[in-house]
Amino acid sequence: MTKDHKKIITISRQMASGGAYIGRLAAKKLGCTYIEREVLHAAALDLGVNIRDISGQDEKKSGFLESMMKSFAYGAPDAVYLPSRRPVYDEDLFEAERRVILQIADSHDAVIVGHAGFSVLRGRPSVFHVFIHAPKEFRVARLRNFHALSAEQALAEIDESDHQRAKYLKTMTDRDWHDAKNYHLCLDSQATGFETAANTIVALADHMKPRIETL
């Protein structure tokens, strides 16, 4: 590793697995910048749109009907008038987020959660890729703890999130989000607990950093 290479950890995570919380813990322990929603904010600025207009697309694949409705809403000859704002398609958003992540990796020691960081920074020396997962019953309980949802509602949200994220990442990166070969480390957050998960990431990232080059 050269001095030019920043310390970067990417964390991919299942909904309600605690991946974001674990990422914050790891960033604090490492003295790194924690990056999550900042990628979407910067991408919105890059695209010249309001973050509210694209937040629903983040790490989700737009369906055929939604894409078709965008085309009608943004200038089809017989479209009903809607307040003018720039359309953003999945590919445009992914490319903007990719540019943001590359800029961050060039300038900051950082823990980057989500946004296909494992693919964007694939093969970059000294980047450590982590996947956080957990059993569904654990994730359902966590989601219900934060939101007033029934068990059935929480499970439906988790299943939809898993499906949409996997579909989006397969389309944008041609990679299976759940494939362990994408990562240097996969952790079951229920089995380890959040503190131990963060400590494991820190210990392994520091130990392996000089040797990490590609996956």
| Domain membership flag for residue 198 | yes
Distance of alpha carbon 173 from its chain centroid, rounded?
Answer: 13
What DSSP letter does each residue of 13-27 carry, written as one string? E-TTSSHHHHHHHHH
Among residues 191, 196, 147, the alpha carbon closest in space to that of 16 is found at 147
174-208 exposure pattern, b = at least 16 Cβ within 10 A, e = fewer: ebebeeeebbbbebebbebebeebbbbbbebbeee
- Cα–Cα dist 30/51, whole Å: 29
Domain that holds residue 153: 8-211
Q: Are 90 and 168 in contact (CB under 8 A)?
A: yes
| Domain membership flag for residue 55 | yes
- Cα–Cα dist 212/215, whole Å: 8
Identify the pLDDT of residue 209: 53
Instruction: Give the CATH number, domain containing residue 105.
Output: 3.40.50.300
How many domains in the chain? 1
Identify the pLDDT of residue 89: 83
What 3-state class would DSSP assign to 12? strand
**Per-residue pLDDT of the chain in tens (215 residues, 90 and over written 9):** 344 678 899 999 999 999 999 999 999 999 999 999 999 999 989 888 888 877 776 666 554 334 433 443 444 434 333 343 557 788 999 999 999 999 999 999 999 999 999 999 998 888 999 999 999 999 999 999 999 999 999 999 999 999 999 999 999 999 999 999 999 999 999 999 999 999 999 999 887 655 555 56
Identify the pLDDT of residue 210: 52
Identify the pLDDT of residue 90: 87
Q: Would you give the end-to-end CA distance of the chain in angstroms? A: 16
- Cα–Cα dist 35/112, whole Å: 5
| Domain membership flag for residue 40 | yes
Query: Rounded to two decimals, what is the model's pTM?
Result: 0.83
Identify the pLDDT of residue 65: 35
| Domain membership flag for residue 2 | no
- Cα–Cα dist 40/115, whole Å: 8
Identify the pLDDT of residue 70: 42
